[in-house]
Amino acid sequence: MFANMTNDLDFHAKALVLRADRQRVIASNIANADTPGYVGRDINFKDAMNSALDDGSHTMTPSAPSNGISNARHIPLQAQTASLGSSSSPLAYTTQTQPAMDGNSVDMDRERANFVDNSIRYEATLRFINGQSKTILSAIQGQ
């Protein structure tokens, strides 16, 4: 019952963690805009979100008896948030739009645009979470 209520919250929480990850990657790109030979990184949000959701659903459904679980009714030991570490986000490399002499592939205009875009989406996710939690709270209070 309660899991149904917080399912949507869980979804947005995962999105928020991924947005924070991406924010960090773009900040690194901007910091290294003048470093010779640095290759820009980015996160493919769609793929990262898909894999985060896949991992999450695995822990929700009882899996076949394997690694440490001897009975199908045992609760898996894996923590639900274990898959959300920063290491799980697939990092890709950005391509050079205007090749530079020093081998640096960071395009400052694109990174600035990505940074602003990502922070707006981060705030949107935050608002979803806030709205959802207000909805749940008013449903609990029933006033």
Site for other proteins, rule CB under 8 A: 16-17, 20-21, 23-25, 27-28, 30-36, 38, 41, 43, 86-87, 89, 91, 108, 112, 115-116, 119, 122-123, 126, 129-130, 133
- Minimum CB separation of residue 73 from other proteins in Å reads 34
| Nearer to other proteins among residue 28 and residue 83 (C-beta) | 28
Are the C-beta atoms of residues 91 and 44 closer than 8 Å to each other? no
Contacts of 106 (CB under 8 A, 6+ apart): 29, 30, 32, 33, 38, 40, 94
Distance of alpha carbon 67 from alpha carbon 112, whole angstroms = 45
- Minimum CB separation of residue 21 from other proteins in Å reads 6
Distance of alpha carbon 24 from alpha carbon 10, whole angstroms = 21
- Minimum CB separation of residue 76 from other proteins in Å reads 25
- Helix 2-31 to helix 45-60 angle (10° resolution) is 150
| Nearer to other proteins among residue 55 and residue 76 (C-beta) | 55
| Nearer to other proteins among residue 68 and residue 109 (C-beta) | 109
